[in-house]
């Protein structure tokens, strides 16, 4: 192994990405945004019990459109940006995992917090239990963010070669 390669490997963080905060923050931001949007979409009748100037159907449509811009489109653009800052051929497993973990935690915070606030009065119940619903939503949102982010990073890496 050449001396330069030894120095580069020795300087890497233990998780395989030189700057692990970048993919983690990207995942966290998109996870919170997507979690809140999906929470509003799922629990809009509970959140907006009072009559509003915007009909509920239009609100749900707008939230659904916004969610598409968050993931997959926004996540792919963020992945493209990350692809210019990471060594994608080397770091893609770790970076994708960090984005997914960030999105998972973000969705737990965004969706879970919104739903906890919406159901705090105790009149709304959930079957399956609240924790199962929030956990499942967080897993799905993590994939919704991680896969397009990886795709965007790969496109950037291919364009740089």
Write the pLDDT tens digit of every residue in 13-29: 445 677 778 899 999 99
Question: Residue 151: which of 68, 73, 65 has the closest Cα?
Answer: 73
Give the C-alpha separation, 147 to 27, whole Å.
11
The region of weakest confidence among 1-5, 50-54, 90-94, 126-130 is 1-5
Is residue 5 a part of any domain in this protein? no
Does the pLDDT value for residue 8 go beyond 60? Answer: no
Q: What is the dihedral of CA 30, 117, 136, 70, to 10 degrees?
A: -20
Is residue 13 a part of any domain in this protein? no
Report the predicted TM-score, pTM, of the whole model to 2 decimal places: 0.81
> Is the preceding omega at residue 153 within 30 degrees of 0, hence cis?
no
Is residue 1 a part of any domain in this protein? no
Is residue 140 a part of any domain in this protein? yes
**Domain range spanning residue 119?**
20-160
Q: Which helix (H) or strand (E) holds 96?
A: helix 88-118
Write out pLDDT tens, residues 45-57: 777 776 667 688 8
Is residue 70 a part of any domain in this protein? yes
Is residue 2 a part of any domain in this protein? no
Is residue 36 a part of any domain in this protein? yes
3-state SS assignment for residue 51 = coil
- Answer whether 145's CB lies under 8 Å from 27's CB: yes
- List alpha helices for 16-87, DSSP H: 21-47, 56-68, 75-83
* Number of independent structural domains in the chain: 1
Read off the tokens for 102.
């960030």
Is residue 37 a part of any domain in this protein? yes
Q: Identify the residue whose tokens are 């968050």.
A: 70
């Amino acid at each position: 192994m050449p001396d330069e390669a030894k120095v580069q490997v020795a300087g890497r963080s233990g998780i395989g990405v030189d700057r692990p905060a970048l993919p983690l923050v990207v995942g966290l931001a998109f996870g919170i945004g997507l979690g809140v949007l999906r929470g509003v979409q799922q629990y809009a009748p509970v959140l907006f019990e009072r009559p509003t100037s915007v009909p509920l159907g239009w609100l749900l449509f707008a939230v659904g459109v916004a969610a598409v811009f968050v993931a997959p489109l926004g996540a792919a653009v963020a992945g493209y940006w990350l692809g210019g800052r990471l060594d994608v051929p080397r770091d893609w497993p770790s970076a994708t995992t960090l984005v997914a973990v960030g999105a998972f935690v973000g969705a737990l915070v965004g969706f879970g917090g919104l739903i906890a606030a919406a159901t705090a009065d105790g009149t709304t119940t959930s079957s399956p239990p609240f924790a199962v619903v929030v956990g499942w939503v967080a897993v799905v949102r993590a994939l919704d963010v991680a896969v397009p982010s990886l795709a965007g990073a790969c496109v950037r890496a291919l364009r740089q070669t």
